[in-house]
Amino acid sequence: MNTIQKFYLSFVLALSLHVTILVMFGISFSNEPDITKQKPLPEIIQASMLDDDKIMEEVNRLKIKEEKKQLVLKKQQQNLENKRKKELQLLQDTKKKRLQEQKKAKELEKIHKAQALKEQQKLSVIRKEKALEAARLSKIKQQKAAEKKRLDDLRKAEKKRLNDLRIAKEKKRLAEKKRKQAEISKQKALAAEKAALLKKQAAATKAKADQDRKATIRSQAAIKQKIHDRWIKPKSSFKGLSCTIRVKLLPSGDVMDVTVVGKCGDTIFERSAKNAVRKASPLPVPKDRALFSKEFRIFTFKFNPK
């Protein structure tokens, strides 16, 4: 039964109730005089109208109730349908899972069979290897016995050879001892001669070092003096300035390069110091080439004119 049919049935029942009420009112008023019957007519109409409103209200309430019931029923049906779909999906998933498990079981069975076959083959190989190993060990045992005999023979021969060698070494040692004693006497004489020569060389080296030191001091003093003589004091410079200069020379004393490596902050003073070094070229350097290469090829000095 759908909603329209239920609404129609409710309407018919309400209409029948309304007619029955009207009939009852009509029968009760027919037994009274005409005057009494004419007076309450408006009240009957009014009551009838009120009843119609109540009936319609009841019909609407029933209609709303029915619609709610239909909605609930529809929702229940939808829930049942959803539940049925879920159960169907679960059934399909279960079936699919079962098929997958069956497939996996077959694959595992196949793998187990392959592993079993492989294990059998492996055991067969191991048995063959053990047999070969036993044969190899037997052969090694025989070889060891032969090797032991050979080593025993070698040890006996070696023992004899070592004894002969010991006797020969002893004779050689005595001869070597005699030769060494003679060599030691010779070396002592050579050592004494060498010590005297070293002493003489040390004295000469010391004398040369003193000479080089004095020559270095003289040349350094002469270089500084010559540079100071060529220096022109800048008007803007103040007393007490100094800077460190690095000079690169040729063996002739000619200046190849001048660089200020320890600056004082006064660029004019530093430039005047570099100019003084260039003007003093060639610088007075030692004649000794070794001393020049060691001390004066590239050297630094502090330029601090008084």
142-178 burial, b at 16+ Cβ within 10 Å, e below that, comes to: eeeeeeeeeeeeeeeeeeeeeeeeeeeeeeeeeeeee
CA-CA distances (angstroms) from residue 258 to 189, 277, 298?
56, 7, 10
Q: Report the C-alpha gap between 54 and 43 in whole angstroms.
A: 16
Quick check: 126 pLDDT over 90? Answer: no
The mean pLDDT of 184-207, rounded to a whole number, is 88
pLDDT at 33: 46
Mean predicted lDDT score pLDDT of the chain: 85
Kindly indicate the confidence band of residue 119, based on its pLDDT and cuts at 50, 70 and 90. Answer: confident
Quick check: 70 pLDDT over 70? Answer: yes
Quick check: 65 pLDDT over 70? Answer: yes
Tokens of 81: 């349908």
Kindly indicate the confidence band of residue 9, based on its pLDDT and cuts at 50, 70 and 90. Answer: low
Q: Report the C-alpha gap between 247 and 259 in whole angstroms.
A: 7
Quick check: 37 pLDDT over 60? Answer: no
Q: Measure CA 90 to chain center.
A: 47
Structure-derived torsion over alpha carbons of residues 271, 276, 277, 282, reported in degrees to the nearest 10: 150
Span 289-302, pLDDT tens digits: 999 999 999 999 99
Query: Of the spans 18-22, 31-35, 229-233, which averages the highest pLDDT?
Result: 229-233
Q: Report the C-alpha gap between 74 and 82 in whole angstroms.
A: 12
Tokens of 300: 């630094």
Range of weakest confidence among 28-32, 52-56, 126-130, 206-210: 28-32
More reliable by pLDDT, 153 or 40: 153
Q: Report the C-alpha gap between 59 and 170 in whole angstroms.
A: 145
The mean pLDDT of 29-50, rounded to a whole number, is 50
pLDDT at 222: 95
More reliable by pLDDT, 169 or 14: 169
Quick check: 62 pLDDT over 80? Answer: yes
The mean pLDDT of 177-203, rounded to a whole number, is 89
Amino acid (1-letter code) at residue 49: M
pLDDT at 50: 58
More reliable by pLDDT, 278 or 102: 278
Q: How many CA atoms lie within 13 A of 246 on its CB side?
A: 6
More reliable by pLDDT, 268 or 94: 268
Tokens of 36: 């009494």
Provide the whole-model pTM.
Answer: 0.38
Q: Report the C-alpha gap between 272 and 232 in whole angstroms.
A: 7
Share of the chain above pLDDT 70, in %: 85
H-run or E-run covering 149: helix 41-230
Strand partners, 249: 255
H-run or E-run covering 219: helix 41-230
